[in-house]
């Protein structure tokens, strides 16, 4: 028997949650499977099965898939046909890698969870995500930006982002006591992946921060805005753009480029990639937990890129001030 399920995008609610309706010709085997793998509830008035969107997000993608194969038995569709369908969408509709995966997930759910097929029927090759290389600044450009800032607070903000490899949100969430001048570390709370981590405190940046704290006397947050509230992300971008305008840098510079530059420059100075991975809070399937927890002894051996630059300038008798 040919079964062509109909996906219904519904505004109705079941248990106060948004739901999606699915309707198909009666088949007890499919019904049993549906109950087994989802929170499906039969609606007598709607004459369909209602499933919470949070557990079943086929949405419009699966309905489009059914439309594409409207003249075929949906249960007899082969993997090669599905691959060809996705390829058509990539070439003609220019769908993104993310949407490719979403559509494949919708299709896989039906063949895997609803029909309960063996993997050989739905083991679809996933499209690879686009690999976009991060944009970075060279060392001279970083120094030029820092030296273009007259405001001591603004200089300290950008210097901290670069010298400790912080994301903008991490800088904003720094508390005054997260800076450990004695151990030369910066505590980053609830960082990437909602995990705390420790980064390095540059000697040059430590000097900046000591003067900044003495002058501005922050109360709780390391960098405060009006009424001693957290500094805003927008303000950081404005500070950076103003500084860039006072240099000869033509490229568009963002706060995260400073973080990317931190990692790139450390790598160029010979710091082990595993240390850099830990400093930035990065994780991958190839990285074990031991690489994400670096002892304070190991951190003390790492010189910040900012210090490396200034030390090199000192050898050349150049201006050492930021």
The pLDDT value given to residue 301: 66
Query: Which fold would CATH assign to domain 139-315?
Result: hpI Integrase; Chain A (1.10.443)
Could you report the average pLDDT of every consecutive run of 10 residues in the chain (322 residues)?
A: 48 50 77 67 79 57 82 77 83 80 79 65 52 76 96 96 93 95 93 80 96 95 91 92 95 90 82 80 46 43 81 70 68
Output the 3-class SS for 129-143.
Answer: CCCCCCCCCCHHHHH
**Residues carrying CATH 1.10.150, the chain:** 6-122
Q: How far apart are CA 183 and CA 296, in angstroms?
A: 8
Residues of the chain above pLDDT 90, percent = 30
The pLDDT value given to residue 39: 65
Average pLDDT for the chain:
78
Does the pTM of the predicted model rise above 0.95? no
Which helix H or strand E contains 48, and what residues bound it?
A: strand 48-52
The pLDDT value given to residue 284: 57
Q: What is the pLDDT of residues 203-220, one digit of tens each?
A: 999 999 999 999 999 999
**Cβ(304)–Cβ(200) under 8 Å?**
yes
Instruction: Dig out the tokens for 199 from the structure.
Output: 């980064």
The pLDDT value given to residue 166: 94
Q: How far apart are CA 241 and CA 162, in angstroms?
A: 15
Q: Helix axis angle, 139-147 relative to 255-268, nearest 10°?
A: 130
The pLDDT value given to residue 14: 42
The pLDDT value given to residue 292: 30
The pLDDT value given to residue 11: 43
Q: Which CATH architecture has domain 6-122?
A: Orthogonal Bundle (1.10)
**Cβ(191)–Cβ(174) under 8 Å?**
no
Q: How far apart are CA 209 and CA 191, in angstroms?
A: 21
Output the 3-class SS for 150-167.
Answer: CCHHHHHHHHHHHHHCCC
- For residue 99, CA distances in Å to 56, 94, 109 come to 16, 10, 15
């Amino acid at each position: 028997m040919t079964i062509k399920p109909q996906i219904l995008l519904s505004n109705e609610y079941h248990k106060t949650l948004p739901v999606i309706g699915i309707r198909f010709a009666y088949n007890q085997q499919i019904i049993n499977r549906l109950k087994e793998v989802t929170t499906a509830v039969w609606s007598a008035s709607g004459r369909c099965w209602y499933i919470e969107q949070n557990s079943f997000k086929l949405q419009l993608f699966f309905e489009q898939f059914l439309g594409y194969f409207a003249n075929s038995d949906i249960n007899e569709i082969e993997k090669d046909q599905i691959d060809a369908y996705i390829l058509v969408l990539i070439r003609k509709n220019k769908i993104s890698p993310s949407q490719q995966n979403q559509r494949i997930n919708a299709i896989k759910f039906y063949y895997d969870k609803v029909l309960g097929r063996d993997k050989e029927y739905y083991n679809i090759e996933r499209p690879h995500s686009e690999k976009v290389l991060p944009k970075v600044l060279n060392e001279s450009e970083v120094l030029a930006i820092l030296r273009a800032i007259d405001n001591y607070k603004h200089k300290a903000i950008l210097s901290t982002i670069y010298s400790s490899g912080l994301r903008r949100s991490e800088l904003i969430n720094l508390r005054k006591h997260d800076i450990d001048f004695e151990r030369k570390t910066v505590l980053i709370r609830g960082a990437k992946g909602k995990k705390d981590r420790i980064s390095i405190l540059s000697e040059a940046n430590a000097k900046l921060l000591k003067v900044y704290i003495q002058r501005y006397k922050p109360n709780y947050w390391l960098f405060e805005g009006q009424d001693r509230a957290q500094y805003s992300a927008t303000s950081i971008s404005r500070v950076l753009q103003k500084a860039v305008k006072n240099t000869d840098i033509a490229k568009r510079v963002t706060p995260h480029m400073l973080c990317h530059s931190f990692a790139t420059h450390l790598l160029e100075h010979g710091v082990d990639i595993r240390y850099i991975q830990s400093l930035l809070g990065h994780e991958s399937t190839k990285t074990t937990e031991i690489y994400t927890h670096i002892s304070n002894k190991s951190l003390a051996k790492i010189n910040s890129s900012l210090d490396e630059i200034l030390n090199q300038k000192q050898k050349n008798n150049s201006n050492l001030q930021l």
